Structure 1
Amino acid sequence: MSAWRDGRNEKSLARLRRALPAVFPAPVLNHALARPLIPPTLRRAMEGYWRAHPLRADRLARALARRSGTPDGWAWRLDVATEGRRTSFRCPPAPFRETAFARGPGHCCVCGQPVFRFGWHRDLWGDGRPNKRATWHSACVVAWQLWCDPSGQVQALKRAQGRCCPETGRRLLRTAEVDHRVPLFRVWREHRAMPWPDLLDHWGRPNLQVINREAHLGKCAREAQARAGQRAKAKRDALPEGPLAPG
């Protein structure tokens, strides 16, 4: 196995060196060369770097979204799956994925910023030309996956909070689960008028935590009880005042 790996890495390294431009992000290259299996292409090296740093990708994607700002005329709405709109409040709002606000090839459909070589977010090469064949930053791909399925990054989130349960103050168990501090149904009900970049914080690291399963079950029960109380209150408020009309 070692001989096979050494032979494969030798071929991958030679291929990387042939394709390596004069300017390339040093952290990405260092990460690629430190892998047990060196990626054979610069694109795969870029993708592997961001997959290994999902919380860094999340932070970058939200920062790029702030640079773009909320598009004029856009509002977070739930609609049928047409024109790129979302059908559930659990999916993060993405105005640049909607037909009316898309910026076209060469711009990221998540954050709206230009995409440069190898899916990088900055023009390190100084030619000012976005990659017209790209519609995602490599970092935004990983950030989007985190926002839509945070449980897939439970280990990274555990490390980020020191393996301590914020609900109980105890050490996180193997059965610990990912939770949104502010539930997404509350984000939709109470905060949907916020600027779009601020909304994304509710899907990213600022609103994510890993808590032990028992604490998670208790928190979910309290949230369900609160939602039931809100529905009951809304029904009472909708009832007409005074006695019902006959007939």
Structure 2
Amino acid sequence: MRLEERRAAWNERAAVALQAPRAALPSAVLAHALQARWTPRTPRAAVDGFWRAHPLRADRLARALAAMSGAPADWRWTLADARATGLRVPPLPYRLPKQEAQPGRCVVCGQPVFRLGWHRDRWSAGVVNQRAAWHACCVVAWKLWNAPSEQRRLLARVQRHRCAISDKRLLRTAEVDHRVPLYEVWRDRRDLPWPELLGYWGAPNLQVVNRVVHTAKSVAETQERARRRRDVPAPDPA
């Protein structure tokens, strides 16, 4: 059997499974799955594939869900947290040890996780997925926050392939940069509400710039940090 014939047979069987009443996929997810070159064969694969194809939408949704939860009343982003994970990793107050984590709650946003890793109970089951600890959208958002360079092409397209600082045409060597450096987020903005903090790792704080511009920006930031350290007065002797 030729490859095209195999693909057509695969897609036909997969489409029947995804459109079954039991699957009840969201319309956007189903439309995306049916347009794929190889149609996902399971509803969960269709959901995961949808969010992987829309990382910026996943980022917005994950931050919106976090805003619905808010941080726990006694939580605060501490120096110990920042040192343990590094500033490249956003603070997650709901990512607790397994013995403390709540079953069926997303470790990223703190909201309930329902069937297929969805963020709403569109199947009216009335119960959360006790075996799930991540929303499908939050998985993709988490990857964007931790490895934004992987979405360089998408971010460049959003910027119409213009450097965010110089406004010149983006070159092949262009790089993803944080508008507000993450060290500055820790230094000056760590007391902001937690959902607002997440935006500094997400799309609102990401930009694509040409490498020479990025280098100059990094040098200026390093000089500014050194200047601030020099300006801090030494503590009085005991």
TM-score > 0.5, shorter chain as reference = yes
Tell me if structure 1 keeps the 8 A contact 2:81–2:91. no
Matched position secondary structure for 1:95:
coil
Query: Segments of 4+ in structure 1 off by > 6 A?
Result: none
* Residue 110 of structure 1: how far off its partner (Å): 0.2
Matches of 1:230 and 1:118, distance apart in 2: 49
217 and 22 in structure 1: CA distance in 2 versus 1, 3 angstrom threshold: closer
Partner of 1:50: 51
Matched position secondary structure for 1:179:
strand
Matches of 1:161 and 1:139, distance apart in 2: 23
Q: Deviations 1:117-166 (Å, cap 9, x if unpaired)?
A: 11111111223211111110000000000000000111111122222112
1:10 to 9, 12, 17: 12
AA aligned to 1:42 is P
Higher mean C-alpha deviation, range 87-96 or range 58-67: 87-96
* Residue 101 of structure 1: how far off its partner (Å): 11
AA aligned to 2:74 is G
Partner of 1:151: 149
Tell me if structure 1 keeps the 8 A contact 2:113–2:128. yes
Q: Which has the larger radius of gyration?
A: 1
AA aligned to 2:53 is A
Partner of 1:131: 129
* Residue 191 of structure 1: how far off its partner (Å): 0.6
Matches of 1:138 and 1:22, distance apart in 2: 16
* Residue 100 of structure 1: how far off its partner (Å): 10
Matched position secondary structure for 2:85:
coil
Matches of 1:44 and 1:112, distance apart in 2: 23
Matches of 2:99 and 2:161, distance apart in 1: 41
Partner of 2:202: 204
Tell me if structure 1 keeps the 8 A contact 2:25–2:43. no
Matches of 1:38 and 1:225, distance apart in 2: 52
55 and 96 in structure 1: CA distance in 2 versus 1, 3 angstrom threshold: same
How many residue pairs match? The answer is 235
2:234 to 218, 221, 238: 238
Consecutive unaligned residues of structure 1, counting only runs of 5 or more, are 242-247
Partner of 1:245: none
Consecutive unaligned residues of structure 2, counting only runs of 5 or more, are none
Tell me if structure 2 keeps the 8 A contact 1:78–1:89. no
* Residue 21 of structure 1: how far off its partner (Å): 2.0
Q: CA RMSD in A?
A: 2.1
Matches of 1:148 and 1:78, distance apart in 2: 19
Higher mean C-alpha deviation, range 205-214 or range 3-12: 3-12
Tell me if structure 1 keeps the 8 A contact 2:105–2:112. yes
Tell me if structure 1 keeps the 8 A contact 2:18–2:41. yes
Q: Deviations 1:63-110 (Å, cap 9, x if unpaired)?
A: 0000001211000024379xxx94312210000003499651111000
Q: Deviations 1:1-23 (Å, cap 9, x if unpaired)?
A: 212222322332344345x5263
TM-score of the superposed pair, with normalisation by structure 2: 0.92
Matches of 1:240 and 1:126, distance apart in 2: 64
Matches of 1:80 and 1:202, distance apart in 2: 17
Q: Deviations 1:198-235 (Å, cap 9, x if unpaired)?
A: 1001001110111111111110110011111122223x
TM-score of the superposed pair, with normalisation by structure 1: 0.89
Tell me if structure 1 keeps the 8 A contact 2:87–2:182. yes
Partner of 1:169: 167
